[in-house]
Amino acid sequence: MPLILQDDTGTATGANAYIDSSYADAYFTDRNKDESMWIDLDQEVKDAAIISATSYIDNSNIGKLRGRKLTKGQTTQFPRLGVVDFDGFLVDGLPDLLKMATAEYAIRAVVDNLAPDVTYDESGMPVKSKKEKIGPIEETTVYQDDVMTPTQIRKYPEADMLLKQYLYASNYLVRG
């Protein structure tokens, strides 16, 4: 799937990315962040990582984002209407912190799946952790505490903090 960059009006047809690779290149270079790993990647790998990062931002924050989509038909969660930052300023278009977070998630997406599937054992129970020892044989399995709760979303502190001001402060869904 080709990278299709969202615009500040929310009208880019089929948009699946908040940034392009040139933004990410500049972001990592400006911050002297392991940019050699990112810069040396093939364009297709960079684009796939950016698309994954955008999808992760959108899907992991459903129901937590302030405001609402700017247009009914937009394919990404940003731009949004009715969002103000911590200083009280209206957030227009695709904010810089969103773009920065997308770059941070993208470089992590190159190394690992941002939202890996849950591991289940033969009984169908979700496994929290498993320890095996070969001699003498020992096996310990710890299951998820509550199988009815959704899978925990991984935490990426640096990237997550960049998005914080666009999220509701609580974990409950606000309808408006």
Residue numbers in the chain where pLDDT is lower than 50: 147-151
Percent of the chain with pLDDT over 70: 78
Tell me: cis bond preceding 95? Omega within 30 of 0 counts.
no
Please tell me the distance from the alpha carbon of residue 93 to that of residue 114, in angstroms, as a whole number: 25
Q: Domain spans of the chain?
A: 21-117+157-166
Alpha helices in 62-166 (DSSP H): 96-111, 157-163
CA separation for the pair 65, 128 (Å, rounded):
28
Q: What tens digit of pLDDT does each residue of 135-159 get?
A: 778 776 566 565 444 445 678 889 9
Is the whole model's pTM more than 0.95, yes or no?
Answer: no
pLDDT of residue 148: 42
User: pLDDT at position 142, please?
Assistant: 64
**pLDDT at site 115:** 83
Per residue in 52-78, pLDDT tens?
A: 999 999 999 999 999 999 999 999 999
State the pLDDT at residue 139.
74
Cα distance between residue 29 and residue 14, in whole Å: 29
